[in-house]
Amino acid sequence: MKIVITADFSQEGMERLKNAGHEVKYCCWGPTHHICDEDELIKVIQGSDVLIVGYEPITRKVLENTDLKIILSIRGGPRANIDVDYATSRGMPVMYTLGREAIPVADFTMGQIICLVRQIAKTDRELRRGKFTAPDKDYGSASDVIWDMSEEGPWESRKGIELTGKTLGLIGFGTVGQEVAKRAKAFSMTVIAFDPYQKDHAFITSKVQKVSKEDLFKMSDIVSVHARATDDNKGMIGQAEFSAMKRGSYFINNARASLVDEKAMRSAIDSGQLAGVALDVFHSEPVKENDPLMKMDNTILTPHIAGAGYEVVYRHSDMLIDDLFALLNGETPKAITNPETISDLNKFKDMGKGIYSDSKSDSQSSDLSSDFVEKISQEVIRQLKSHKIL
């Protein structure tokens, strides 16, 4: 089959496809970081059967003017840039990645928590601006601690809380929420979660208490949001939720800004109801330079990078290839947005005739096998060296 890849994709993944007998074209954002428009896409997709996409707009116009049979998205929410409804009407399965960024987002979340409760980012900014620093080169000692020890000095004024024994409340307990829970438990935290769509089995196996949204905000010292945004949950966290929290608690959002009432959150920060907030998502992105949040010292703001890990590209490449091979073998893929399109799996098995899969098992691909870890570790080291970090 002819496969066009416009997403960032691993070289190993492309070799898997080629070794299985597929013809691969790599173009648009993946190799160039240029997001192709509709007309450019139509041109590069012509004559192809499968599209692996990241951020290009897969609109009705694109689908009407190409002969695609299968679409695979590296993203966890393919509807963001794919007209899934029209693809469904044409019998075209749209597959996606489930939890490709769960590990980096979970790591990032714990970093935000520690930076908030210990005021690490705040004091770093203050020190660089000259607060707490020595007045001249002759002041200071190498033999003793002589930072200002008054009430206004760093030791007294920048104390933080310990995580041990504190309660972390997770809004959303999917792949990301579960990874965050693992890490929080390593810090001896109590973890509770609200997720009306998650099965009880996930809570039981993770040893996380399932609670109502109301109880979560009352019980938590720190609340972290990891829910998928829908039309139904827009603004689900507002004044009532922030008011129910313990005074001086912390709030983190690495999911979507639409889940939170922005005015209510700002009010909770201004009033001191929230001691600190960490945001990787904003109601308007990129965030404006003059946004009031930028002037608040008790906020940690980052430009939507929680999931930006070097290893992600290898993970989503293998996830999508595994699902594509499964479909062409007449098997149900793990993550598909419109399962009604594959009611006749034999149709896709027929498409795969003459094309062979590789021998890579699930445990050798999407999971963190030793070979996988070794492969991505070498690539990460190479990337760090190229950026002069090592």
Quick: pLDDT tens for 138-186.
Answer: 666 666 667 888 888 888 989 999 999 999 999 999 999 999 999 999 9
pLDDT tens readout for residues 15-51: 999 999 999 999 999 999 999 999 999 999 999 999 9
Q: Which candidate in 256, 311, 315, 316 is catalytic?
A: 256
Structure tokens at 148: 């200002």
CA 270, CA 268: separation in Å to the nearest integer? Answer: 6
Examine the residue annotation and report whether 304 is marked as an active-site residue of this protein.
yes
Quote the crossing angle between the two packed helices 175-186 and 102-117, to the nearest 10°: 50
Examine the residue annotation and report whether 60 is marked as an active-site residue of this protein.
no
Query: Which of residues 15 and 137 earns the better pLDDT score?
Result: 15
- Bridge partners of 94, per DSSP, are 71
Alpha helices in the chain (DSSP H): 11-19, 29-32, 38-45, 60-64, 84-89, 102-117, 120-128, 154-157, 175-186, 200-206, 213-219, 239-244, 262-271, 312-328, 345-351, 370-386
Q: Which candidate in 23, 266, 304, 379 is catalytic?
A: 304
CA 131, CA 125: separation in Å to the nearest integer? Answer: 9
CB 316 within 8 A of CB 100: yes
Examine the residue annotation and report whether 256 is marked as an active-site residue of this protein.
yes
Q: pTM of the entire structure?
A: 0.85
- pLDDT classification of 217: cutoffs 50, 70, 90: very high
CA 92, CA 69: separation in Å to the nearest integer? Answer: 5
Query: Which of residues 356 and 310 earns the better pLDDT score?
Result: 310
Q: Which candidate in 125, 285, 374, 382 is catalytic?
A: 285
CA 332, CA 139: separation in Å to the nearest integer? Answer: 70
CA 81, CA 59: separation in Å to the nearest integer? Answer: 8
CA 125, CA 388: separation in Å to the nearest integer? Answer: 24
Domains of the chain, CATH where assigned:
2-98+310-386 (3.40.50.720), 102-132+146-301 (3.40.50.720)
Is pLDDT above 60 for 301? yes
